[in-house]
Amino acid sequence: MTDNKKTGRKMPYEKRKAMYGYGFISLWMIGTLFFFLIPMIKSLWYSFNEVSIGTGKMVTEWVGLAKYKYVLNVDEHYTEYLKDMLLETLWKTPLVIIFSLFIAVILNQKFKGRTLARAIFFLPVIIATGPVYKIINGDMSSTGNTGAAQFSTMFSTDLVGELLQFLGIYGLSDNMSTMISTIADNIFGIVWASGIQILIFLAALQNIPPSAKEAAQVEGATAWEYFWKITFPYVSPFILANLIFTVIDSFTSPTNTVMGRILAMKEDWKFGEASAMAWIYFLIVLAAIGLITLIVNKLIYYEVD
């Protein structure tokens, strides 16, 4: 301890701080090398190779870009799934962010039954990442149970249909009812995808000092002004985290078709193809995230910096 201090004093302040910085992240650096970087490089290596299982280890044979060409030009599902997934993520992400901020603002207000309401809205956090959600979502293909899946979807659309009939607009027009039911289906998806985002926004909202609220009230700010001038700046650092999280969540969710395709390739022992697919996908995600971060970082407000 004393040794550290002595050598520390000789170093310039900036350098000493840098050393401490490395100290803080050293544990993570070791772990990342073993549990992340090496496996990543191996997987990249596989994508340029013909991979087969030898006795006791993997046998690789260099084939260059052949796997990538195969995946993009020959595989009949991959590009189609990829396009669908990217489009879906593009329109769903902003909706999830807006929705979760809206709900977080509501849940931050004082009203009777607030604790209950919060408990209900955070429920997807508990369920949506696990195998239970797969079963709820009617995705039973992994257990080979398609009948059950059919039953589950029938059940959910029936509910909307009954509601529409009850409202007396069912016979009005087919377009209208299909539109309403697609919205209803997506509401299910959006609500179930926003649990963590709501949680993070709510935590941010509760960190708004009461003095800011009082000041706004004394000045006679409307709810609208209060949202944009007080709530939004305080919440903005968390929008980046939430944006990234939402994008990742949609990319890695068990219902993602591209991921399903990759896993199917893996189960066929086509590790080379699977790795190539994963890498193409990953690079697109990386580009998208990079763009978002660049844009958002320009807009958000930090108390320090």
Q: Which is nearer to other proteins, 173 or 207 (CB)?
A: 207
Number of CB atoms found within 10 A of residue 113's CB: 9
Minimum gap (Å) between residue 178 Cβ and other proteins: 19
Of the CA atoms within 13 Å of residue 117, those in its CB half-sphere come to 14
CA distance 194 to 104: 10
The two structure tokens encoding residue 241: 């985290």
Minimum gap (Å) between residue 276 Cβ and other proteins: 11
Q: Which is nearer to other proteins, 95 or 240 (CB)?
A: 240
Minimum gap (Å) between residue 89 Cβ and other proteins: 13
Minimum gap (Å) between residue 303 Cβ and other proteins: 6
CA distance 105 to 96: 14
Q: Which is nearer to other proteins, 101 or 202 (CB)?
A: 202
Minimum gap (Å) between residue 5 Cβ and other proteins: 8
Minimum gap (Å) between residue 84 Cβ and other proteins: 17
Q: Which of 173, 171, 303 is nearest to 233 (CA)?
A: 303
Q: Which is nearer to other proteins, 87 or 126 (CB)?
A: 126
Minimum gap (Å) between residue 203 Cβ and other proteins: 6
Q: Which is nearer to other proteins, 79 or 129 (CB)?
A: 129
CA distance 18 to 218: 45
Give the position of tokens 């956090």: 125
CA distance 108 to 186: 25
Number of CB atoms found within 10 A of residue 104's CB: 26
Q: Which of 19, 22, 2 is nearest to 11 (CA)?
A: 19
Instruction: Identify the DSSP state of 130.
Output: S
Q: Which is nearer to other proteins, 66 or 148 (CB)?
A: 148
Number of CB atoms found within 10 A of residue 101's CB: 25
Q: Which is nearer to other proteins, 19 or 72 (CB)?
A: 19
Minimum gap (Å) between residue 90 Cβ and other proteins: 17
Q: Are 300 and 237 in contact (CB under 8 A)?
A: yes
Q: Are 292 and 243 in contact (CB under 8 A)?
A: yes
Q: Which is nearer to other proteins, 170 or 234 (CB)?
A: 234
Q: Are 157 and 181 in contact (CB under 8 A)?
A: yes
Which residues, in sequence order, are bridge partners of residue 51?
60
Number of CB atoms found within 10 A of residue 141's CB: 12
